[in-house]
Amino acid sequence: MITTQDRLLKKITIDDNDCWIFNGSLNENGYGKIMFNGKTWLVHRLFYKEWLGDIPTNQGVLHTCDIRSCCNPNHLFAGTQKDNVIDMLGKKRRCEIIRNRPPRPTSLDGIELLTYILDNWTKKNGKCLEYKFDFSSHYPNIAYKSKTIGLHILVWLLHTDSKIIPNKHFVMHQCHNKACINPEHLIIGTNKQNQIDSRSYSLNTKLNLESVQLILQEALLIDFSVRGVKTKFDKYFSKKFNVHPDTISRIRRKELWGDVTI
């Protein structure tokens, strides 16, 4: 029987610092959020509850690692707001959050600006170069030539010496780390490619592009007008990919992964 913990573990990846990084949606403050039993939870609070027990009354769940998207129970502890402030001051997080990043020299552009950003605004995490300051949106942003754009977009433009992004294309992360601005991890793709890539990577599903294409190819060979064939087909592939039969049925009817072609 699949437990709640098993389901939650499908939604994380473990980085070099043993942080369990949540792969789903983040709120405006960078904390993971998830629907669970009809309620929206902050992911680190849900992990605390499932692994460590109920959260004490009038206390929050704090991070020893200071990584907001981390939900490793070994990095979590319960504490009051006062405890949080003491922890923040002890680790000198207050300075970073209030000051945020220093202003960039306005005289820099091109490769000089790219070098400045990578040298002064990043920290290394494995092969990723992560933006090291606090940011409230899904991606770090920057004001550039009278516009606010994603910092990863600017890095791609500067790295490739491009003026604009091709029409109907996006800058995508090969590393799937939204805080990363390593130019070597950034590629151009269409919205369709971005959606397929996101679904393929997400640990929230056992399916990827190749498995969905296999299901659709096999479905072309089956006569579903025969009674019971649909049920047998859905059950067979649900066991093969460890998903619910309804998921296979919806793929077969093009209600899920409808943009995938074979």
- Tally of CB atoms within 10 A around 212: 21
Amino acid, single-letter form, for residue 224: F
DSSP structure class, residue 70: B
Q: Per-residue pLDDT averaged across 137-153, rounded?
A: 83
Do 219 and 233 form a contact (C-beta atoms < 8 A)?
A: yes
Q: pLDDT exceeding 90 applies to what percent of the chain?
A: 21
Do 42 and 8 form a contact (C-beta atoms < 8 A)?
A: no
Residue 73: pLDDT over 60: yes
- Tally of CB atoms within 10 A around 130: 20
Half-sphere exposure of 50 (CA within 13 A, CB side): 18
pLDDT score at 7: 80
d(CA 121, CA 64): 23
DSSP structure class, residue 25: -
Taken in order of first residue, the domains within the chain and their CATH numbers are 4-97 (3.90.75.20), 102-195 (no CATH), 205-252 (no CATH)
- Tally of CB atoms within 10 A around 97: 10
Query: What predicted TM-score, i.e. pTM, was given to this entire model?
Result: 0.46
Q: Work out the pLDDT band at 94, boundaries 50, 70, 90.
A: very low
- Structure-token pair, residue 47: 């992990």
d(CA 226, CA 234): 14
Do 130 and 118 form a contact (C-beta atoms < 8 A)?
A: no
Residue 204: pLDDT over 80: no
